[in-house]
């Protein structure tokens, strides 16, 4: 079948227009097919993820295949209940009358995915799009070519081509897709392209979800158990070699915590990846040379606490912690998106909050503290996509929490029931008897 953007969009729209994607049974069947794809072809996807990003099987299973299966299972369990019309109270002046809110599918959805979790970030939005009764085009990232090819080859074996299409390619192919009219565009990636997507969507008045990134801070306060803190930060930061949108970007070490935290971070990295992380099967690689060069240039400021080694030929960059980093260092200007973790010392919580609020609103804000007062102040005085105490990254696997950014870190949200709302129109229905 043709992969020409116009032909694909027309084919999917024709399917949607028949109405056959609307019944609950159609949606559940597609989710079960997606489930079968992931369980039966899991080895193929794990191999592709290793080829693209050096992901270990454990990491690739948890972060991609297993994650998406959980999203499917949660949706299969609750979809009927989520789709039930919600009764709405009617003011006395309208009575007798009944009102309800109905979730209507939107039509044809375009999902544009990035390279860092190339399977999860293509298929988790697809779960929501299909569960909400839409047809969908997936545009995987060209920077994860093995995973892109595996999805293009295998998805059509499990899901009808009339309802789901995979269009591979880079900027020209995405640009061609963006010329077409969709009913929702779901984009995950950087803010520069996010603006291109939103401008293209404006031509057709198409709603967008933008899942973007940014610098996610970690506040560490005196009194927190610094050994546990360091272990959890290191695990969240260095998985996928730091190429995670919700990875801790930098640490704001409050008061006198920095020196002791440095020691614990070095120990935590050693416990995760051994004497030489280059030899650890658990440690990933940088996606390409362009990103490798960008990251290697960030090592020139600050004092290396651990790591610093790199090897361009293998796209290896050691898990690196930098101390004594200045606010103006290049590493503090843009999202790091790699295995470099700067520590900035701040005198107190006021300074930490001011530091955060002087910058773009982050996708996630993390804090390690024993103080309820600190938790309350961070909740009330800062804005971020998510606020998480004590455990970086994993919050996105809690299916009842919305996942998305605010301001420069994005707009809109998904996962679980939030995906249904994203990919549906919430239609108001009022029924007043004529008698």
- Is 335 an annotated catalytic residue? no
42-53 vs 24-40: helix crossing angle, rounded to 10? 60
Q: Contact with ligand NAD (CB under 6 A): which of 121, 185, 332, 346?
A: 121
Q: Contact with ligand NAD (CB under 6 A): which of 107, 128, 133, 189?
A: 189
CB of 86 to ligand NAD, least distance (A): 28
352 part of the interface to ligand NAD, by CB under 6 A: no
176 part of the interface to ligand NAD, by CB under 6 A: no
360 part of the interface to ligand NAD, by CB under 6 A: no
State how far the Cα of 126 lies from the Cα of 132, in Å rounded to an integer: 10
24-40 vs 120-131: helix crossing angle, rounded to 10? 160
Q: What's the burial of 372, exposed, middle or buried (CB within 10 Å: 0-12/13-18/19+)?
A: exposed
Nearer CB in complex with ligand NAD: 304/397: 397
429 part of the interface to ligand NAD, by CB under 6 A: no
How distant, in Å, are the alpha carbons of 73, 206, 347 from that of 249? 31, 32, 20
- Which residues are CB-neighbours of 209 under 8 A, at least 6 positions away? 184, 185, 186, 187, 404, 410, 411, 412, 413, 414, 422
Which candidate, 103, 108, 116, places its Cα nearest to that of 138?
108
State how far the Cα of 384 lies from the Cα of 404, in Å rounded to an integer: 9
Q: Contact with ligand NAD (CB under 6 A): which of 64, 180, 335, 408?
A: 335
How distant, in Å, are the alpha carbons of 183, 278, 389 from that of 374? 42, 38, 10
Which candidate, 201, 284, 266, 279, places its Cα nearest to that of 227?
266
Q: Contact with ligand NAD (CB under 6 A): which of 73, 142, 282, 360?
A: 142
Segment contacting ligand NAD by CB under 6 A, of 89-97, 155-163, 169-177, 229-237: 169-177
State how far the Cα of 347 lies from the Cα of 339, in Å rounded to an integer: 26
Nearer CB in complex with ligand NAD: 107/125: 125
Q: Contact with ligand NAD (CB under 6 A): which of 112, 201, 321, 367?
A: 112
* Residues β-bridged to residue 429: 100
What track of x and - describes contact with ligand NAD for positions 207 through 246 (by CB under 6 A)?
----xxx-------------------------------x-
Q: Contact with ligand NAD (CB under 6 A): which of 1, 14, 24, 171?
A: 171
CB of 249 to ligand NAD, least distance (A): 9
- Which residues are CB-neighbours of 334 under 8 A, at least 6 positions away? 215
Nearer CB in complex with ligand NAD: 196/351: 196
Nearer CB in complex with ligand NAD: 253/363: 363
- Is 211 an annotated catalytic residue? yes
The residues annotated as belonging to the active site are 211, 245
- Residues near ligand NAD (CB under 6 A) are 112-116, 121, 139, 141-143, 170-171, 174-175, 188-190, 193, 196, 211-213, 245, 335, 337, 363, 405, 410
């Amino acid at each position: 079948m043709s992969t020409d953007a116009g032909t694909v969009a027309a084919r999917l729209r024709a399917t949607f227009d028949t109405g056959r994607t609307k019944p609950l049974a159609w949606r559940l069947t597609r989710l079960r097919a997606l489930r079968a794809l992931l369980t039966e072809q899991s080895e193929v996807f794990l191999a592709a993820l290793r080829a693209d990003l050096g992901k270990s099987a454990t990491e690739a299973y948890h972060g991609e295949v297993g994650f998406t299966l959980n999203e499917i299972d949660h949706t299969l369990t609750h979809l009927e209940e989520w789709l039930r019309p919600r009764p709405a109270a009617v003011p006395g002046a309208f009575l007798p009358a009944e009102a309800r809110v109905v979730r209507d599918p939107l039509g044809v959805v375009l999902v544009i995915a990035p390279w860092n979790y190339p399977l999860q970030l293509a298929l988790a939005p697809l779960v929501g799009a299909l569960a909400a009764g839409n047809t969908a085009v997936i545009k995987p990232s060209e920077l994860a070519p093995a995973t892109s090819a595996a999805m293009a080859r295998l998805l059509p074996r499990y899901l009808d081509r009339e309802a789901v299409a995979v269009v591979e390619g880079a900027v020209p192919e995405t640009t061609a897709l963006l010329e077409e009219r969709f009913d929702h565009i779901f984009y995950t990636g950087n803010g520069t392209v996010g603006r291109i997507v939103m401008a293209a969507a404006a031509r057709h008045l198409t709603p967008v979800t933008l899942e973007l990134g940014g610098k996610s801070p970690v506040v560490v306060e005196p009194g927190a158990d610094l050994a546990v803190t360091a272990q959890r930060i290191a695990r969240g930061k260095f998985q996928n070699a730091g190429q995670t949108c919700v990875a801790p970007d930098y640490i704001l070490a409050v008061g006198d915590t920095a020196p002791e935290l440095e020691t614990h971070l070095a120990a935590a990295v050693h416990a995760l990846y051994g004497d030489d992380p280059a030899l650890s099967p658990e440690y990933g690689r940088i996606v390409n040379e362009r990103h490798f060069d960008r990251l290697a240039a960030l090592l020139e400021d600050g004092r290396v606490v651990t790591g610093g080694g790199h090897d361009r030929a293998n796209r290896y960059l050691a898990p690196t912690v930098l101390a004594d980093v200045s606010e103006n260092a290049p590493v503090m200007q843009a999202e790091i998106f790699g295995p470099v973790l700067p520590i900035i010392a701040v005198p107190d919580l006021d300074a930490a909050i001011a530091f955060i609020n002087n910058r773009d609103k982050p996708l996630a804000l993390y804090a390690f503290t024993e103080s309820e007062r600190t938790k309350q102040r961070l909740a009330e005085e800062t804005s971020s996509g998510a606020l998480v105490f004590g455990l970086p990254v994993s919050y996105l696997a809690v299916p009842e929490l919305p996942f998305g950014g605010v301001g420069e870190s994005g707009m809109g949200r998904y996962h679980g029931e939030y995906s249904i709302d994203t990919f549906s129109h919430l239609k108001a229905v009022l029924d007043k008897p004529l008698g």
